[in-house]
Amino acid sequence: MARRRIAVVLEGGPGAGKTSTARMLAEILRRQGLRPCIVDDAARTLSSIFTRLFGEWHNAPRMLIEYVFLGYQLCRLRACSDADVVILDYSIEAPLAYMEADGIDYPGELDDIGFEVLRGFDEVYFFVLEQPCSYGLDEARWEPPRRAARYARALFRRAAVLARRLDAPLYVLPERSDAGERARLIAEILAAHSRSPRGGAGGVGVEGGTKRG
């Protein structure tokens, strides 16, 4: 039987817990005998380079940041080509959502990049992590809470549009203090879909996650 490739897109604003959830989900999937690969948050990986150049990484020109992050994601996706499940801690649409929220123009052709990349997978699942009530800054998170909330709204809008284009299920996961709880919930949803006769397009209800679309 041909191997089916799955993409799990974690969406949410700064500080929503995507990185911790992605790592814990990958560990759960490994224990299930799958081969996960994480497309990690480019900010945490590349911020030190921008910091050396601009003092603080977020002081770099915004368009430069987002284009570099987008290129990094595409390279990481190629590195994940042998994985059963690709977990996107930072979605393909995220750089565009950030520029959109800040009123920065970009070529319209880029609006199709997420669709073109993700339609190559057999199954795609979107999980939107609700923005936390408490929010702290660190080496990667620099946005004040109001700005972070604006980014979160832009990210959700783009994720919803892309999920509809791909006919992919989208779940909204409530805030949890333990990222492991969210990771287990995502794993349960994936397992329920794998048992569904309709496969990736099937709709299932799992306690704690609200399915949209």
Q: Report d(CA 105, CA 206) in Å as an integer.
A: 39
Tens digit of each residue's pLDDT (9 = 90 or more) over 86-133: 999 888 888 999 899 989 999 999 999 999 999 999 999 999 988 665
Q: Are 24 and 139 in contact (CB under 8 A)?
A: no
- Whether 199 shows a pLDDT value over 50: the answer reads no
Residues 6 or more apart whose Cβ sits within 8 Å of residue 23: 38
Q: What is the pLDDT of residue 141?
A: 54
How high is the pLDDT of residue 59? Answer: 81
- Predicted TM-score of the model (pTM): 0.85
Structure tokens at 157: 């809008």
**Which CATH code for domain 6-212?**
3.40.50.300
Angle separating helix axes 18-31 and 179-195, nearest 10 degrees? 50
Quick check: 210 pLDDT over 90?
A: no
**pLDDT over 70 for what percent of the chain?**
83
For 125, the enclosing helix (H) or strand (E) is strand 123-129
